[in-house]
Amino acid sequence: MTKIDKVLYTGKTHTTGGRDGAAHSDDGQLDIKLSPPGSNRAGTNPEQLFAAGWSACFIGAIGIAAAKQKIRLPADLAVDAEVDLGTADGGYFLQARLKVSLPGVDAKVAKVLIDEAHQTCPYSKATRGNIHVELTVA
């Protein structure tokens, strides 16, 4: 397990009520209601939040990979992330799919960028070997 030498940022939230609750950040930038997946109640859920955080981080990691290779990324680069909550062997688990859209970038080059991003993205590192992940080029 890698221990961080220098902390760049710490996200701080306070959550109450679990999947039927609310969460807010210490700086006031995040203030959301939470609801169970599929409940159609107001609010989001942990799986959506995880998908949003991972996809945003992954775009940053693609940018780092592209800069190393001096590849210009399209302005409409996007990641569609899907995070599944499910059960297996009597327990709860996650699995994920990241579909990356790099319009105008050759498919082979896009695959190289995505694979490199998956090695450097902190969310990818945190999930590696722990959940099933599929990466595809849109």
pLDDT in tens, 82-108: 999 999 999 999 999 999 999 999 999
**Cα 23 to Cα 45: distance, rounded to the nearest angstrom:** 10
Percent over 70 (pLDDT), the chain: 100
Overall average pLDDT of the 33-52 stretch: 95
* Per-residue burial over 52-82, b = 16 or more CB atoms within 10 Å of its CB, e = otherwise: eebbebbbebbeebbeeeebebeeebebebe
Residue 104: CB atoms within 10 A of its CB come to 11
C-alpha 97, offset from chain centre: 10
- pTM of the entire predicted model: 0.93
Joined tokens for residue 97: 């799919």
Overall average pLDDT of the 6-33 stretch: 97
How sure is the predictor about 81, in pLDDT bands with cuts at 50, 70 and 90?
Answer: very high
